[in-house]
A and B are shown apart, each in its own frame.
Chain A
Amino acid sequence: DAMVIQNPRYQVTQFGKPVTLSCSQTLNHNVMYWYQQKSSQAPKLLFHYYDKDFNNEADTPDNFQSRRPNTSFCFLDIRSPGLGDAAMYLCATSSAGPRNSPLHFGNGTRLTVT
């Protein structure tokens, strides 16, 4: 089945130690998104790619970076995680934009910062 896969499911990192979360998709979708969700809050868009075009949200901290080496893969790098970065990170894809098509989500990576 075509799908969006996030690895790992759970990630524990130390304060200040760089961490990378990964997302892959077999849907061949143009658009990929990274969302951050903290407990009981709305998922917050960090950035998205339309093909290779990178779009950073204005309020996404510089500590967060992303790479999309090809259509299938997208990475979220947190350069120096702080305690406030502990959250669920969701990757999602869209075929041509969500005006008429839904997002397809991965299972998420829950990040703990110790």
Chain B
Amino acid sequence: DIVMTQTPLSLSVTPGQPASISCKSSQSLLHSDGKTYLYWYLQKPGQPPQLLIYEVSNRFSGVPDRFSGSGSGTDFTLKISRVEAEDVGVYYCMQSIQLPWTFGQGTKVEIK
């Protein structure tokens, strides 16, 4: 299985300040079709995960532009340019290049 490792596991951020989460995979997520199958989700309390970013850097419909994804191969980053109160929750990275799909442990973001 591909192991997804997120850091940090928790983050306390002042509103308006930036935040960054790292996700490293144990194998490259670059497919022969040229796409990299790395996704970012946010799970707000009591809700299912919601897709933020697909294929490393593409914002899903309706996702604010303060969220951005970057990276390649095995190293990826989710950045929030200016954290807002509604951004609290647990962030997960996920890979779907290889079965079984696997998730990072999650990064809990809270507001100071």
A and B form one complex: no
- Residues on B lying within 8 angstroms of A by beta carbon are none
- Residues on A lying within 8 angstroms of B by beta carbon are none
